[in-house]
Structure 1
Amino acid sequence: MEPIKLRVGRPITREQFDELDDEQLVRLLPKACREFFPGKDFCADGCFYLHDGTAWSFYKAGFVDD
């Protein structure tokens, strides 16, 4: 698998999620969401919840509700 370019808002696959570490994953998040990232181990199905109850998905590269 060729390396991906880590850019904010870029969706990734489940396989890519498994390969990336916390530092790499946080680079895919908008700055406003980064402080709420709990770490890869606490992302259920590639998603995590922000303080306001919204969920961010690495697979969609956006909020789950969008």
Structure 2
Amino acid sequence: METPRLRVGRPITPEEFELLEDEQLLRLLPRAYREYFPGKDFCADGFFYLHDGTAWSFYKGGFVDE
């Protein structure tokens, strides 16, 4: 089975989220938001909040409210 390439903004499944490490998840975030990533353990339901109150979702590959 081939491992999917980690690209910024690519949505992932909850199963993929569980398998990826923090360093791998960082590759899915735009550079401007990487410093706000709290680590996988603090991402409830695959998303986390940024400094301005918006939330980034790994499952959507973008902001929760887009």
Letter in 2 for 1:31: R
CA-atom RMSD in angstroms:
0.8
Within 5 Å, give how 1:1-66 maps onto structure 2. 2-66=2-66
Letter in 1 for 2:5: K
| Cα separation, 1, equivalents of 2:62 and 2:43 | 14
| Cα separation, 1, equivalents of 2:58 and 2:37 | 11
- SS at structure 2 position matched to 1:35: helix
| Cα separation, 2, equivalents of 1:4 and 1:26 | 15
Name structure 1 gaps, 5 residues minimum: none
Name structure 2 gaps, 5 residues minimum: none
Query: How many residues matched?
Result: 66
Which ranges of 4 or more aligned residues in structure 1 deviate by more than 2 Å? Answer: none
**What does the per-residue CA deviation read over 1:12-66, in whole Å, with 9 as the maximum and x for residues that have no partner?**
0000000000000000000011000000000000000000000000000000011
Structure with greater helix share of residues: 2
| Cα separation, 1, equivalents of 2:2 and 2:17 | 14
- SS at structure 1 position matched to 2:36: coil
TM-score by length of 2: 0.96
